[in-house]
Each structure stands twice: as C-alpha cells, then as structure tokens.
C-alpha cells in the first residue's frame, strides 16, 4: 500500500481527496490499482468513513477511479480519463516542474488562440472593438509585467466571449487556471508577448473588420512570441536536468 499520511483536519474531506489525487497523478497509485476498503482507508488516514466516501465520490466524478457497488475501487489512467481541470495539478509533480506539461499548455494556447480569434471575427466583429481596445489601453498603461499579463488575459477573455463557444470558454478557463498562479515566474517569458501592443492592435483590427483569416494569422504571430520564448527556456531546463 502507498505511504498514506494521517490527515490532521478530520472534518475536511478535501485533504483526503487531495492525498488520493496526488497518489494517482504522481504514479504512486498506478492505473489498475485497487484502493483499500473505506474502513481501512479511514483507519490509515485517521478520518471518518463519510470523509473517505466523499473523497472517493469526487475522484469518481473526475474519472480518476471506478467505484463498483460492493466491489473494489480501481484507479484509472488519468491520461485517458482525466479532464483539463487536472492541468494545474500536473504542472508540479513530485516537487518538480513538468516541462512536458508546460509545453503542452503553450502549444494548446497557440493553437486554440488562433481558432478563437477567427471565430470572434466571424461571430462578434465590431461588437468587440470597445472592450478589446480598452484592454489594450490598460495593457499599455502599466509597466508592471504581472499586471500586463492580467490585462492580456482580460483581452483574450473578451476574444473568447466573442467566439461564442462554450467549449473554448471552458478550455480557456482551465488553461488560465493552469498558469495564472505562476504569473510572477512567467513574467520574463510572457514579456516577449505582452509588451507588443502593436500585435494586440493587429488582432483587434482583424476581429473588428470581421476578417477571420487575418484574425487567425495575427493571433498566431502574437501568441508565437511567448511560445518560442518558453520553448527556449524549457530546452535550457531540460538540458540542466540532464547534466
């Protein structure tokens, strides 16, 4: 059995859920592993059975375990059954930044951003002019890199709303949740992008003009700035880890 730790806050099942989630994501509880029975888990963790039951139900809702009535609770492969809500947790695994996850986030950001901009141009057009230009104005009114990133997120939030796609909206929410807590650390990398007000204006002009093809190209040029910078940083990190 994995080395479970006793839970100190007995009234909060969130800690049980987090510990089990950590075990699944970090590989201590591999796919196909049968978890101990509720009673045994409760004893090991030092919590009540209802707390364990709630945590297991939450894991089942996320798709990370399969709970059989009267049978074992089996761990599932999170890569095949997990959702985008796992991204923030996957960024740091076993105390280390997972550079592969960071690359995936940046790649998805680049790819999805282009399509979202094209949809916004097609579906919203001139209706987005005021919010987008106001976001750019806020972006250029500060030199603080973290504030610039937040204004850039505001800009893209308007673009996503203009795309009028619930799927892209939810994807944006999860991608944002994955890297927003690390804005301080990302300041230098994303500075290559958020400092280019002209590129944001080009995206805005294309969207307002209702030109999906131009909006897509302009968004790609803008988002590729940070993507390329991040790729170089990750290459250096990987090389340092191997040496």
pLDDT in tens, 162-220: 999 999 999 999 888 887 878 887 877 888 899 899 999 999 999 999 999 999 999 99
Low-confidence ranges of the chain (pLDDT < 50): 9-11
The Cα–Cα gap between 133 and 82 comes to 37
Q: Which of 99, 87, 89, 90 is nearest to 240 (CA)?
A: 99
Residue 29 DSSP class: S
Cβ contacts of 130-138, under 8 Å, gap ≥ 24: 131/158, 132/158, 132/159, 132/200, 132/203, 132/204, 132/207, 132/208, 133/204, 135/200, 136/197, 136/200, 136/201, 136/204
d(CA 79, CA 222): 30
Tell me whether strands 65-67 and 73-75 are parallel, antiparallel or unpaired. Answer: antiparallel
The confidence score (pLDDT) of residue 201 equals 98
Q: Which residue has the tokens 């089942």?
A: 60
pTM for this model (two decimals): 0.82
Residue 71: how many CB atoms within 10 A of its CB? 9
pLDDT of residue 65: 94
Q: What pLDDT, on a 0 to 100 scale, did the predictor assign at position 4?
A: 67
Q: What confidence score (pLDDT) does residue 230 get?
A: 87
Instruction: State how far the Cα of 71 lies from the Cα of 94, in Å rounded to an integer.
Output: 30
The pLDDT of residue 7: 55
Buried b (16+ CB within 10 A) or exposed e, 22-52: ebbbeebbeeebebbebeebbebbebeeebb
DSSP 100-135: HHHHHHHHHHHHHHHHHHHHHHHHTGGGGHHHHHHH
Nearest to 158 by CA among 178, 195, 128: 128
């Amino acid at each position: 059995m994995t080395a479970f730790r006793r839970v100190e806050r007995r009234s909060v099942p969130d800690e049980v859920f987090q510990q089990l989630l950590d075990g699944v994501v970090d590989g201590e509880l591999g796919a196909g592993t049968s978890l101990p029975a509720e009673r045994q888990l409760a004893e090991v963790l030092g919590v009540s059975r209802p707390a364990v039951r709630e945590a297991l139900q939450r894991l089942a809702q996320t798709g990370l375990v399969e709970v059989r009535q009267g049978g074992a609770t089996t761990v599932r492969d999170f890569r095949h059954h997990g959702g985008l809500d796992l991204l923030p947790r996957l960024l740091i695994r076993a105390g280390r930044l997972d550079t592969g996850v960071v690359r995936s986030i940046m790649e998805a950001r680049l790819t999805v951003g282009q399509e979202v901009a094209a949809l916004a141009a097609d579906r919203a057009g001139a209706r987005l002019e005021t919010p987008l230009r106001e976001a750019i104005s806020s972006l250029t009114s500060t030199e603080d890199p973290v504030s610039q990133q937040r204004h850039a997120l505001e800009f893209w939030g308007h673009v996503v709303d203009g795309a009028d796609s619930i799927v892209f909206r939810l994807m944006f929410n999860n991608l944002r949740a994955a890297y927003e807590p690390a804005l301080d650390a990302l300041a230098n990398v994303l500075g290559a992008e958020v400092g280019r007000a002209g590129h944001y204006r080009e995206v805005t002009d294309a969207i307002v003009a209702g030109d999906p093809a131009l909006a897509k190209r302009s968004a790609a040029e803008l988002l590729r700035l940070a993507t390329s910078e991040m790729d170089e940083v990750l290459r250096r990190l990987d090389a340092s880890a191997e040496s």
